[in-house]
Chain A
Amino acid sequence: GAGVSQSPRYKVAKRGQDVALRCDPISGHVSLFWYQQALGQGPEFLTYFQNEAQLDKSGLPSDRFFAERPEGSVSTLKIQRTQQEDSAVYLCASSPGPGKLFFGSGTQLSVL
């Protein structure tokens, strides 16, 4: 597609539910990033893939968060047993190389 696509656009989950957020990067982009943006804050790094390899997951806040990119294209961020503090906008970005980062519109997750 022309840009980075994220789905769903909005997700409401009950506390304790598992959720899966999808990211379709720009075709051919090797690098893919997930960021978490809490209300009124800047994006915080979660994890980074180069092709299918997850090279950095230092930003994942707990072992309830898991990300994958099995074929080096589409990526899924999974949150198990969601908590209220997980409520945020989750942004995906892809990059063809240094200095070029393209963001999707994000998934707004609300945990009730």
Chain B
Amino acid sequence: AQSVTQPDIHITVSEGASLELRCNYSYGATPYLFWYVQSPGQGLQLLLKYFSGDTLVQGIKGFEAEFKRSQSSFNLRKPSVHWSDAAEYFCAVGPSSGTYKYIFGTGTRLKVLA
């Protein structure tokens, strides 16, 4: 079965601290992997995506994610968090060919302490 698991519902970090959000997936074929961010009342904004090549991908706003095939993981990281990063973060998987539904995790809500 296809699924995405984000084990941390809430994470709180201090401004300037490092951040890692976890994501594990189950998918039959090689998928596209995504991280989206959603601010309150807003739609989903793409942070970064991975399909192939270098397993460390860089995204917008200073975020990066590392794909680990052996662990079926695609964790999101940021070296130094800013107060404006407070939002909800969603990991997702999607088809690498053809068209089919994208599957999202339940999200991790990030709180940043000043």
Given known contacts A91-B44, A99-B49, A99-B51, A42 and B99 CB-to-CB distance under 8 angstroms: no
Q: Closest approach, in angstroms, between the C-beta of A62 and any C-beta of chain B?
A: 18
Ranked nearest first, the 5 interchain pairs of A and B with the lowest CB-CB distance are A42-B104, A105-B43, A103-B43, A103-B44, A45-B101
A residues whose Cβ falls under 8 Å from a Cβ of B: 4, 30-31, 33, 35, 40-45, 48, 50, 55-56, 59, 91, 93, 95, 97-99, 101, 103-106, 108
Known pairs A45-B101, A50-B99, A56-B101 / 11 extra A-B pairs, C-beta < 8 Å: A33-B101, A41-B107, A42-B4, A43-B44, A44-B104, A56-B100, A95-B99, A98-B95, A98-B96, A99-B49, A105-B42
For A55, list chain B residues within 8 Å (CB).
99
Cβ of B73 < 8 Å from any Cβ of A? no
Say yes or no: B97 contacts A98, CB within 8 Å: yes
Given contacts A50-B99, A91-B44, A98-B99, contact A43 B94 (CB under 8 A): no
Given A50-B99, A98-B95, A99-B96, decide whether A42 and B90 contact each other with a Cβ distance below 8 A: yes
B103's contact among A40, A45, A48, A108, by CB below 8 Å, is which?
Answer: A45
Known: A42-B106, A99-B49. A31 touches B99 (CB 8 A): yes
How many B residues face the partner with a CB closer than 8 A? Answer: 28
B102 and A101 within 8 A (CB): yes
**In-complex Cβ contact of A104 among B6, B43, B100 (8 A):** B43
- Contact B99–A43 (Cβ < 8 Å): no
Given the interface pairs A98-B95, A99-B94, the reply to whether A45 lies near B102 with Cβ below 8 Å is yes
- Chain B nearest CB from A36 CB (Å) reads 11
Q: Indicate if B27 sits at the interface (CB-CB under 8 A).
A: no
A50–B100 Cα gap in the complex (Å)? 10
Contact of A42 among B43, B94, B107 (CB under 8 A): B107
Q: B63: CB under 8 A from chain A?
A: no
B94 touches A98 (CB 8 A): yes
Are B99 and A48 in contact, CB atoms less than 8 angstroms apart?
Answer: yes
B42 to chain A minimum Cβ distance, whole angstroms, is 6
Residue on B with the closest CB to A35?
B104
Task: Give A80 Cβ to nearest chain B Cβ, in Å.
Answer: 23
